[in-house]
Structure 1
Amino acid sequence: MRKWRSAVVTAAWVGVGTAAGALGAWQLATSDSGGAAHSRPLDEGAVERALAATSASPSASPSPSGSPSPSHSPSATPSQKQSDRSTLRFTGGTATVECRSDGTVYLVSWSPADGFHMDDDVERGPGPVARLEAEPSDDDEQEDLPYEIHCGEDGKPRAGVVADADD
């Protein structure tokens, strides 16, 4: 009698665990947000279309994020002039940059590459030069990568590694 009761209790626990797993999978599959399993990274064209749509409707505001993110996407400054946005890719990450008609540069957003994080001390502009620093996440032997970004004569942004002021 005792073996039979033990088998029934074990079967009940297995059934409850299976039901809980199935309910969780069903909830993720039918949720509106879709969860991380359904999100896909945007390509450059999709980012530009999304930025254009945001610029076209000033009442649009970014949706709040449920978790902290290492990337930074602040809203445009009120004194922003007509400008061209470009995405720069560099060893430590990417940055969306505006070269403004007055010759100044403005960092719209930035995001680290895998294995890096961005230092919090960012000089975003607008100004003649913007600065940010990509730091290796877990490799003490790899050097930090401080970048200066400016607008070239052609109105396109240029990024270059500069000497690290912290050393």
Structure 2
Amino acid sequence: MSTVARRARRRAALVITGLLLALAVALLLSVATVQGWFGLGQGEGEDAAATTASAVPPPALTPAQVTVDVLNGTSTSGLAGRTAEALRTRGFDVGSVDNADGVEGVGIVRHGPEGQEAAELLETTVGQDLELVLEPEREGSEIILVLGPGWTELPTADDAVSTDGR
């Protein structure tokens, strides 16, 4: 074999080796980016988990800190009283229980600016699609639940489990 042929083979081998090495480096960088080693990809690295965990704030209110007035906006006798008792079993502080002018749908929760979080907690706890009505002039964090014809009665004290685990 001539010297020229050997040089050509060596050159071809070096070029192929260089290309394979460049391909391996590119593959390694791609995997590292996807895994989040450089923080550029969409991987599930430790930083992503820490950010997700701290993004959801703990609930600031408990039912015991929420005062609810329960009003019956339907023709169903005793509905507000039964609902007030069911809310007590869930840990809410129930203020007054009375009748009100009728409302449409499931019901509404009237609240002032300070009662927004309390209204959301009540809606979440009862699991019904209540309309939250902000009344900017209302002072304090007390909320008013007005029951409508679409209201589904909550389980009784015997059936319900209190939110404080008792």
Q: Name the TM-score, length of structure 2 as normaliser.
A: 0.32
Higher alpha-carbon Rg? 2
Structure with bigger helix share is 2
Relative CO higher for 1 or 2, CA cutoff 8 Å, sep ≥ 6? 2
Q: Name the TM-score, length of structure 1 as normaliser.
A: 0.31
